[in-house]
Chain A
Amino acid sequence: NAGVTQTPKFRILKIGQSMTLQCTQDMNHNYMYWYRQDPGMGLKLIYYSVGAGITDKGEVPNGYNVSRSTTEDFPLRLELAAPSQTSVYFCASSYYPESSYEQYFGPGTRLTVT
């Protein structure tokens, strides 16, 4: 199993550009999550999904959109990039709700918006 994979690893965007961060898991997990990690801060939940076709907002959803058309994929869309979105983005998955069971994290995408 590859686990949770994310692409790209690094990206530089100009203000106002759009992009999609890709996330795929091959563990047949129902639950998937997107977090951002800012320097000196704890991870913050952006969006999560409890299964294909079902998504919900986390703690910091503004400026982002997600979709979950398959169990495996959970892309994160930035429509109008802003400097405040400069961060490292982690995708994670778990078979059951993350509250009780282990989450598996991807390697992260480092995004810079200038």
Chain B
Amino acid sequence: KNQVEQSPQSLIILEGKNCTLQCNYTVSPFSNLRWYKQDTGRGPVSLTIMTFSENTKSNGRYTATLDADTKQSSLHITASQLSDSASYICVVTSGYTGGGNKLTFGTGTQLKVEL
């Protein structure tokens, strides 16, 4: 069964600090991995998407890494801001390009940035 596990479940950090969120997956065959940001009461918004051959991708202060051998990904947030307070969801796509693809969503890490 395909699974995506995220840790920690929740995290509180001070504004300006860095943090790293983890994602472990057991999805086969692997197609790609995405990180989404979901603000309270809103739909998820894509931050990064990485395929098997990519091991890092950045989007502003967000940097995602992927280790396809250990089936782990991380999302690093640099110099956090109050607006980074949100749920961060890891999503892994299984299957083959063009058909039979399935997205497995993690339960998210709830991040709160405080003054």
Q: What residues of chain A have their CB less than 8 Å away from a CB belonging to chain B?
A: 4, 40-45, 90, 92, 97-100, 102-103, 105-108
Contacts and interface: CB of A to CB of B under 8 A. Distances in A.
Residue of A41, A45, A103 with highest tally of chain B CB at under 10 A: A103
A98 B93 CA distance: 9
Interface of B: 4, 31-32, 41-46, 49, 89, 93, 95, 97-98, 101, 103-108
Given A97-B101, A100-B32, A100-B97, A105 B107 contact: no
B97 A103 contact: no
B41 A108 contact: yes
B105 A99 contact: no
A105 B93 contact: no
Contacts of A90: 43-44
Contacts of A100: 31-32, 93, 97
Contacts of B104: 42
B32 A107 contact: no
Given A42-B4, A42-B89, A105 B101 contact: no
A102 B45 CA distance: 9
Contacts of B42: 107-108
A28 B106 CA distance: 29
A99 B103 contact: yes
Nearest to B90: A42
A40 B32 CA distance: 23
A42 B103 CA distance: 10
A31 to B, nearest CB: 11
B28 to A, nearest CB: 14
Contacts of A41: 107
Given A41-B107, A42-B107, A108-B41, A102 B101 contact: no
